[in-house]
A and B are shown apart, each in its own frame.
Chain A
Amino acid sequence: MTDAEQQGAAYEEEHVHAVYEQIASHFSATRYKPWPIIERFLKELPDGAVGADVGCGNGKYLTVNPRVFMVASDRSTNLVKIAKQHQPHDSVVADVMNLPHPKHSFDFAISIAVIHHISTPERRIEAVKAILELLRSPLAGNPGSGGRALIYVWALEQKDSRRGWDEGNEQDVMVPWVMRAKKEKESKKGKGQKAIDSSNEAEQPSEQPQDKTFLRYYHLYRKGELEQIIGEAGGEVVEAGYDKDNWWAVVTPQL
């Protein structure tokens, strides 16, 4: 690895992987509804297709189609333990940069909300290459006949979202994940306004559980940026679009 890559990997370890490991069960409880475009991609697969879910999180896409076989992977052991309950599939702990699969062995792959956590442009291209490498190669003389992957990333252009980012904003951001403490009934301190405790109180073994905020690193993709890195990784975009604050693309290896 080059120095820049090493730094990128170390940065992601601290600002992505360690965070997910800690928020796993809370995160999982909020991730249960599959997004429609991803659901359609998975449901349209032929029966018996074999694929990978790279960065599977809690495995919410493993519930969509039990007629295919998916080997899911995630960096977070705690999330993989949640994901592995979904039959007939299976889940392993692995890194997108070093996936433990034979090359060109899968009919399909999905990677949903994963490569926006990668912190350098070179590593983003490497990650897309790694996903493309999983897919069946196209047959000679039949471009587009190779396996297909669906990739989703968070968009910079999302002015109507809660976050309100848009064109022109900084693309590399830290996004809070707030784990709400269980509220006790007697402590009504106004509508969602957190009273600032005196430091004395804060140090006492907490009878009042505190909210805990974790920051995760994200790279927000500009319009066209996902297609650009797919091209640089040697992939061909079959279909692409914008869906609720995300850019997505279906990609296949070139001949």
Chain B
Amino acid sequence: MKLLTLNFLTCAIKTCKSAPSSFPLHPRDASLEVIETDLNLPFLKNILPRLMWDELRVITSELGLPDLPPTPPTREDLVVAAEDAAVEGEESEEEASQTAKDLHRVLLETTVKEGKLVCGNCGHEYKVLEGVPNFLLPGHLV
């Protein structure tokens, strides 16, 4: 499971969803695996406005990953500044900056392979096995 996915996950228990402390889920006893994928610059730019940056910072810090900067990057930060800015067709020639590479690495390539995801509201633990988190609830919690 990608760290980006944690940006869109919360506790599956209905009563938790309205409690702010249910988001984000907190990784525990997690082993991480980096699975390399192609960097897609337009995708990264487009996903930026959807990122819950403060919550992602909490997750990366809980996982012991290097700190994310305090504020999210801008679209411009993701591109290497063009030396001669007036080149036509620059869209296709844009080069991913180090910031983009770092963001791609943490959001799309860093995955939770094994471990648990814990709800900050009710404490329920969801297991992650072979990279797949399982949100099925036991009967008494449905």
Interface residues, chain A, CB within 8 Å of chain B?
1, 9, 47-48, 50, 66-67, 69, 71, 73, 75, 77, 80-81, 84, 87-88, 90-95, 97-103, 105-106
Q: Given contacts A66-B43, A88-B40, are A93 and B135 in contact (CB under 8 A)?
A: yes
Bound CA–CA A84/B109 (angstroms): 13
Contact, CB under 8 Å: B40 / A105: no
User: Residue of A at shortest CB range from B45?
Assistant: A48
Interface window among B5-13, B59-67, B77-85, B87-95: B5-13
Binary interface profile of B, 53-72, with partner A (CB < 8 Å = 1, else 0)?
00000000000000000000
Which of A84, A88, A98 contacts B135, CB < 8 Å? A98
Which of B11, B17, B37, B134 contacts A93, CB < 8 Å? B134
Which of A47, A75, A84 contacts B132, CB < 8 Å? A84
Contact, CB under 8 Å: A98 / B137: yes
Q: Given contacts A48-B50, A81-B130, are A100 and B12 in contact (CB under 8 A)?
A: yes
Which of A47, A71, A80 contacts B9, CB < 8 Å? A71
User: Residue of A at shortest CB range from B141?
Assistant: A98
Contact, CB under 8 Å: B132 / A80: yes
Q: Measured between C-beta atoms, what is the minimum distance from A38 to chain B in Å?
A: 21
Contact, CB under 8 Å: B135 / A48: no
Interface residues, chain B, CB within 8 Å of chain A?
1-2, 4-5, 8-14, 17-18, 23, 37-38, 40, 42-43, 45-47, 49-50, 108, 126, 130-137, 142
Report chain B residues within 8 Å CB of A47.
Answer: 42-43, 46
Which of A75, A88, A91 contacts B136, CB < 8 Å? A75
Contact, CB under 8 Å: B43 / A88: yes
Q: Measured between C-beta atoms, what is the minimum distance from B57 to chain A in Å?
A: 17
User: Residue of B at shortest CB range from A1?
Assistant: B142
Q: Given contacts A101-B9, A102-B8, are A95 and B42 in contact (CB under 8 A)?
A: no
Q: Measured between C-beta atoms, what is the minimum distance from A6 to chain B in Å?
A: 8
- Dominant secondary structure of chain B at its interface with chain A: loop
Bound CA–CA A53/B113 (angstroms): 22
Contact, CB under 8 Å: B132 / A91: yes
Q: Given contacts A9-B142, A67-B43, A100-B135, are A92 and B4 in contact (CB under 8 A)?
A: no
Report chain A residues within 8 Å CB of B2.
Answer: 90
Known contacts A50-B47, A69-B50, A77-B132, then 5 further A-B pairs from the complex at CB < 8 Å, ordered by chain A residue: A67-B46, A81-B130, A87-B38, A95-B12, A98-B136
Q: Measured between C-beta atoms, what is the minimum distance from B23 to chain A in Å?
A: 6
Which of B23, B37, B133 contacts A102, CB < 8 Å? B23
Bound CA–CA A103/B18 (angstroms): 8
Q: Measured between C-beta atoms, what is the minimum distance from B56 to chain A in Å?
A: 14
User: Residue of A at shortest CB range from B38?
Assistant: A87
Which of B12, B17, B40 contacts A94, CB < 8 Å? B12
CB-CB nearest 10 A-B residue pairs = A48-B46, A94-B135, A100-B135, A90-B5, A100-B12, A98-B12, A93-B134, A102-B10, A92-B133, A90-B2
